[in-house]
Amino acid sequence: MLEIQTYRHVFTPLKLRGVTLKNRLGFAPMVCNQCTIDGTVTDAMVEFISMQARCGAAYVTIGDTQVDDELGGAFMATMNIARHSSIPGMIRLQEAARYNGAVLSVELNHSGRGAKDHLISGPAIAPSAVCLPRCSQNVRPMDREDLDRVKDKFVRAARHAVQAGFPMVMIHAAHNNLLGQFLSPLSNLRTDEYGGSPENRRRYPLEVIRAVREAVGEQVAIELRVSGTEMTPGGLELEESLQFMEAAQEYVDLIHVSRGIVYNDACIYTLPTFLREPLLNLELARQAKARLRVPVATVGNFRTLDDAEAVLASGAADVICMARAWLADHQMMEKCLENRHADIRPCLRCHRGCIDNSSRGKAIHCSVNPELGFEQDIRALPSPAASRRVLIAGGGPAGITAATTLVARGHQVILCEQSDCLGGLLLDAAAPDCKGYMKKYLAWLIRSAEQSGAEIRLNTPVTMALVEELAPDAVIVATGSDYLRPNIPGIDLPHVMMLHDAEQGIRQPGNRVLICGGGSAGLECALSLRRRGHSVVVADLLPEEQFAAGMPYLPRLDLLQSLKREGVTLLPEHRILRFTPEGAVLSSPEGETLLSADSCVIAMGVRPRRELLEQLQTRYAQGVIPVGDCEGGTNLYDATHTAFFGALRVL
């Protein structure tokens, strides 16, 4: 048994009406897309809830569950709580959570104007006919019949949860979903008793909350989710939000403080990216705690039990909710309790496998945890018939992931890296000042390789001669990529350098810097240099809407907005014609321009290093497994997933 020791506040139970939480941690609601398209619970959904419960949180909340399956849809493959026929599947989920040690809750929601046209049966409904760019463009204001019907939908959904044995429900009034749309002056333009003054705007959400309380009785705990601020000009601000919380606390047992609007650019605060600070909503929670008599929960870039303990000990909140930290490492709590913090696999806040997948209807996965969402498939695989001798060419993220996976399955691994250190191009990806999460992951990745039991050979390129000498049973080819060095006149001038040289401090850029390339690596380098005081311009032949096109939507949005705020100049549709001692000559639709620069940094992408792979494939019929960039990958998600599943093929 593990003792609590330094996490006394985390492991203090909390009684909420008829529910006792074993600790002060909640697994925050996430859209996992593990149900069928009509919302039926699947074995994969049961598996996902079981995993969440085993992580150690006191309660798990099923994310974004629409109470209105006709007009509320914003995501595909989410649980349909509106149907009575869903109750048997919901019972399975409740039992899965309970038997794995957690209370199960569900986020009851109506997306209102945030609905997607292809997921609803008619015009979206909202307080007012105000559309959002990426949502339904056919919105009608709610009439009396709509108001009554939606309230009944919330009540019916809550009753279904209770009938399925859920001891707790969450009412979603945050992020400018329907109830939040009534609260916000940005989206509520009504002139009747439900619009205008703050008192009127909170009238309907309070009616819904009161109706749900009356329906579920006195034993079921209700959590209310609210945006402390919508982070949008003209939107809901903290004082009005606090007034709503004060009125709502008569009916609820826990108030969950978040921020932002999930349907516009403020979503970078609702679903924080790698550019957002840790403990994002701490001050909002602190102010709510000072005004409310019911407990306060908060969320937003919490990473470990240490974060939670510090906030709980300060009295700023009563419950801490996390999600992506647990997705990255299901054993995060156990490792904290065992004081094995360096073993915790960090979340990158990259959005690629979790947030980006959910927005596109894909099941939830994780860039750094390739097992997530594939547990059933992995269990179905046969065990290796024997311990194999495997040679891995390349010590970047793909090579390391393959090595640790192979060793864990009982194979003998020789990992060869041609340079003098592990990490590959991830060393450069983690170098910018804004990549703190990536730095932590890089350190974890290298440590995992060094402790795995694999034989690691640095300064050892894999050649055909080495393959013949070692005679392995299989070769994992993880040779990665090389930076493109274009044949541009003047590229050998002393003020022109490659991205690697700038990122690693091999060469120091001057005051005025031209970044040649508008991909994510070039833009992140630009942001880092600008924050260090350099004047930075980024030029690319592509139009601006294609800058950093390979990034998930929200991190890309946050990065571009950050560059704009910091004063980085973007020059789309500009080709580098030649470098000169004064800087570079660029061409654009307007003609040629000499751009003065003290330093020019080449960030024009990479080319997969496939020579070894092609040599091996022409000689060996089987046992050659490409992973990462040379398998066609373009990012860390691809690297870890191709490497993990490639390693599973060694039987």
Domain boundary (323, 352, 367) is at 323
Q: Where are the alpha helices (DSSP H) in 108-177?
A: 144-163
pLDDT digits (tens, 9 = 90+) for 284-342: 999 999 999 999 999 999 999 999 999 999 999 999 999 999 999 999 999 999 999 99
The answer to whether residues 189 and 298 belong to one domain is: yes
471 in any annotated domain: no
Looking at residue 361, what is its pLDDT? 86
The answer to whether residues 563 and 617 belong to one domain is: no
Whole-angstrom distance, CA of residue 84 vs CA of residue 95? 18
| Span between the terminal Cα atoms of the chain, in Å | 36
Domain boundary (279, 302, 323) is at 323
The answer to whether residues 180 and 40 belong to one domain is: yes
Q: Got the DSSP string for 609-620?
A: --HHHHHHHHH-
Looking at residue 145, what is its pLDDT? 98
The answer to whether residues 312 and 399 belong to one domain is: no
CB atoms within 10 A of CB 243: 15
**CATH code where residue 576 lies:** 3.50.50.60
C-alpha torsion angle, residues 622, 624, 630, 634 (rounded to 10): 90
Q: Which amino acid is at 461?
A: P
| 3 state DSSP class of 269 | helix
361 in any annotated domain: no
Whole-angstrom distance, CA of residue 504 vs CA of residue 432? 9
Domain boundary (323, 340, 360) is at 323
Mean pLDDT for all residues in the chain:
97
CB atoms within 10 A of CB 569: 15
Residue 4 confidence class, pLDDT cut points 50, 70, 90: confident
Residue 2 confidence class, pLDDT cut points 50, 70, 90: low
What is the token pair recorded at 441?
Answer: 């992951």
Report yes or no: 628 and 609 within 8 Å, Cβ to Cβ.
Answer: no
The answer to whether residues 395 and 432 belong to one domain is: yes
Residue 1 confidence class, pLDDT cut points 50, 70, 90: low
Looking at residue 359, what is its pLDDT? 86
448 in any annotated domain: yes
Q: Which residue segment(s) compose the domain that 284 sits in?
A: 14-323
Mean per-residue pLDDT, 617-639:
96
The answer to whether residues 409 and 286 belong to one domain is: no
**CATH code where residue 278 lies:** 3.20.20.70
* Type and span of the H or E element at 287: helix 282-291
β-pairing verdict for 168-173 and 103-109:
parallel
330 in any annotated domain: no
The answer to whether residues 63 and 104 belong to one domain is: yes
What is the token pair recorded at 503?
Answer: 């990122």
pLDDT digits (tens, 9 = 90+) for 482-494: 999 999 999 999 9
The answer to whether residues 450 and 394 belong to one domain is: yes
CB atoms within 10 A of CB 313: 12
C-alpha torsion angle, residues 427, 432, 436, 441 (rounded to 10): -10
The answer to whether residues 556 and 596 belong to one domain is: yes
Looking at residue 245, what is its pLDDT? 98
**CATH code where residue 411 lies:** 3.40.50.720
Whole-angstrom distance, CA of residue 56 vs CA of residue 234? 40
Whole-angstrom distance, CA of residue 232 vs CA of residue 240? 14
Whole-angstrom distance, CA of residue 421 vs CA of residue 556? 30
Mean per-residue pLDDT, 612-624:
96
Domain count, the chain: 3
pLDDT digits (tens, 9 = 90+) for 335-380: 999 999 999 999 999 999 999 998 888 999 999 999 999 999 999 9
| Cβ contacts of 444 within 8 Å, gap of 6 or more | 342, 343, 344, 345, 346
pLDDT digits (tens, 9 = 90+) for 414-429: 999 999 999 999 999 9
β-pairing verdict for 19-21 and 59-66:
unpaired
Report yes or no: 376 and 390 within 8 Å, Cβ to Cβ.
Answer: no
The answer to whether residues 124 and 26 belong to one domain is: yes
143 in any annotated domain: yes
Q: What is the model's pTM?
A: 0.95
The answer to whether residues 314 and 409 belong to one domain is: no
368 in any annotated domain: no
Among residues 547, 525, 551, 520, the alpha carbon closest in space to that of 536 is found at 525
237 in any annotated domain: yes
Looking at residue 230, what is its pLDDT? 98
pLDDT digits (tens, 9 = 90+) for 90-128: 999 999 999 999 999 999 999 999 999 999 999 999 999
The answer to whether residues 268 and 121 belong to one domain is: yes
pLDDT digits (tens, 9 = 90+) for 560-600: 999 999 999 999 999 999 999 999 999 999 999 999 999 99
339 in any annotated domain: no
Mean per-residue pLDDT, 597-606:
97
